[in-house]
Structure 1
Amino acid sequence: MVTNTVFGFLRCYLLLAVAAGAGTVAGYDPARLATFVWMGQGLLAVVLLWGWTELADRVRTGDVVGDLLRPVHPVTSYLAADLGRAGYAVLARLLPPVLVGPVFFDVYLPHRWSTAVLFPLSVVLAVVLCFGCRYLVNATAYWLHDVRGPMILWTLSSGVLAGLYFPLRFLPEGLYQALWILTPFPGLFQAPLDVLVEVDPPAVQFALVGGQACWVAVVLAGCRVVQRRAERRLVVQGG
């Protein structure tokens, strides 16, 4: 919590310095940038980009066999646990940075009634989408047994491509649009934060959340396909 708050000050001053000359950068004024930073710091522990290797560890030790014997599908079981973790993180890790930021910076408060509905929905979709991505990274242990390589690649790419460090709108328009269309990464942070600061008209807000929902369906379906193929591999290995 303290680390998230300290980095909130560093990131906020950096982005405000970027906007100091122009006043508005890529549609973000200083108040929107401050909200983007502080809510992003709070969402970091809720969405949880890094640090989860439970599935990979259980595959490595062989304990995953116990998961396969349970009547609940492993993807459903791990997702339920992750949603519970995220709910606790909202209280323990999201609220402190969100309460500290407005004390020291002018922040943007949403004005549209639709944002009150779309933002929580977008956060839930981001949590589920991130879980699915992390599950796929962990599932590489079925084939590689050592997931340090995929985990390092995920750690290095996810924060930048998800919009955690800076708004993706700062990137060239072609690259920004390609990330939205071809990858699920913007749905992890950029989408809920853009919905919150209302940088787009309402129709685009709905489109952002709809895009998240589509990626959630694709990624969760991919998790189940990978899990099914992994179970066949475990049988081949005699697991």
Structure 2
Amino acid sequence: MRVYLTAARLSFRRYITYRSAATAGAITNTAFGFIRAYILLAVWREKPHIGTYDAADAVTYVFLTQGLITPIGVFLGSTELGPRIRTGEVAVDLYRPCDFQLWFLATDLGRAVASLLLRTVPPVLVGALALPTRLPGDPRRWLEFGCCCAVALVISFSLRYLASLSGFWTLDERGTTSLLMVVSMFFSGMIVPLVVMPGWLGGLARVLPWSATLQVPIDVLLGKTTGGFADALVFQLAWAAALVALGRALTSAARHRTVVQGG
């Protein structure tokens, strides 16, 4: 366990040093938050209630998603593994005396914590000060939200890890990861809350793993989950376990498929 904590700590130190880039990213996320918020306010003006959301819920949702974009990795198509497969550096990773999958999960955790500290609070705070929002005052709700976000990161990592592993077969994972990024943006609720999606499309979106990365944690914070925190967490944990298990199976298969380019 110590080696994974060290990997997470060193990854955190690496990402926390880019403060200027993080500041620029936080400003950009906040600006796009206002653009998205005013678009949704126009929608909710025509229909004051969509699903269980009203206008204040929609605005809160927007700024929370803007704050979670980077920590959860919605705009990331792969993990650090992908480029290492392309360059052949993965050969070194395979020789490390530790679990291959857990190593990259630890480095992704360090990245996420650094992003959480640098880029999450500004969009949420500015949005709450400028527009009507509905952030809860109950500490327990925030604790439940934090638990859901932790599992959401594991799900996001697992999806990106699977996309990265495709490089063992294709030698270039960028096509797969680009497709994953588009799908993630749509089905996670990054573009619009999933309550906006009608009929069978909305139903499908809610049972896919991407909904567990953004929509489910925010629904827990806003108190919009049908079965409460317990059902939401079980849903997330089921997807996390399935995706981690699939990742381990593909990792084992990839070890027998490894081809280092140029040699």
Shorter-chain TM-score bucket reads over 0.9
Contact conserved, 2:82 with 2:167, CA < 8 A, in 1? yes
1:152 aligns with 2:178: yes
Change (3 A) 1:207 1:173: farther
Question: Where does the alignment leave 5 or more consecutive residues of structure 2 unmatched?
Answer: 1-25
Secondary structure of 1:26 counterpart: coil
1:212 aligns with 2:219: no
Measured in 2, the distance between the counterparts of 1:22 and 1:50 equals 30
Measured in 1, the distance between the counterparts of 2:230 and 2:82 equals 35
In structure 2, what is the equivalent of residue 124 of structure 1? 150
Measured in 1, the distance between the counterparts of 2:243 and 2:33 equals 30
The aligned length equals: 237
Mapping of residues 56-135 of structure 1, within 5 Å: 56-110=82-136, 114-135=140-161
Task: Return the TM-score normalized by structure 2.
Answer: 0.84
Measure how far apart 1:41 and its partner are: 0.1
Change (3 A) 1:164 1:237: closer
Measured in 2, the distance between the counterparts of 1:145 and 1:228 equals 17
Give CA deviations for 1:24-74 in whole Å, capped at 9, x if unaligned: 221111111111000110000110123445212111221111111111111
In structure 2, what is the equivalent of residue 10 of structure 1? 35
Measured in 2, the distance between the counterparts of 1:174 and 1:204 equals 23
Q: Which residue of 191, 202, 208 corresponds with 2:216?
A: 191
> What is the one-letter code of the residue matched to 1:147?
E
Mean Cα deviation higher: 227-236 or 55-64: 227-236
Measure how far apart 1:238 and its partner are: 11
In structure 2, what is the equivalent of residue 41 of structure 1? 66
Give CA deviations for 1:207-235 in whole Å, capped at 9, x if unaligned: 12210111000111111111100001127
Secondary structure of 1:200 counterpart: coil
In structure 1, what is the equivalent of residue 246 of structure 2? 222
Contact conserved, 2:75 with 2:181, CA < 8 A, in 1? yes
Measure how far apart 1:90 and its partner are: 1.2
Measure how far apart 1:120 and its partner are: 0.3
Mapping of residues 172-187 of structure 1, within 5 Å: 172-181=198-207, 183-187=208-212
Measured in 1, the distance between the counterparts of 2:260 and 2:114 equals 39
Question: Where does the alignment leave 5 or more consecutive residues of structure 1 unmatched?
Answer: none
Measured in 2, the distance between the counterparts of 1:44 and 1:154 equals 15
Measure how far apart 1:20 and its partner are: 0.9
In structure 2, what is the equivalent of residue 170 of structure 1? 196
Measure how far apart 1:117 and its partner are: 2.5
Contact conserved, 1:68 with 1:74, CA < 8 A, in 2? yes
Contact conserved, 1:118 with 1:206, CA < 8 A, in 2? no
Measured in 1, the distance between the counterparts of 2:160 and 2:71 equals 14
RMSD: 2.0
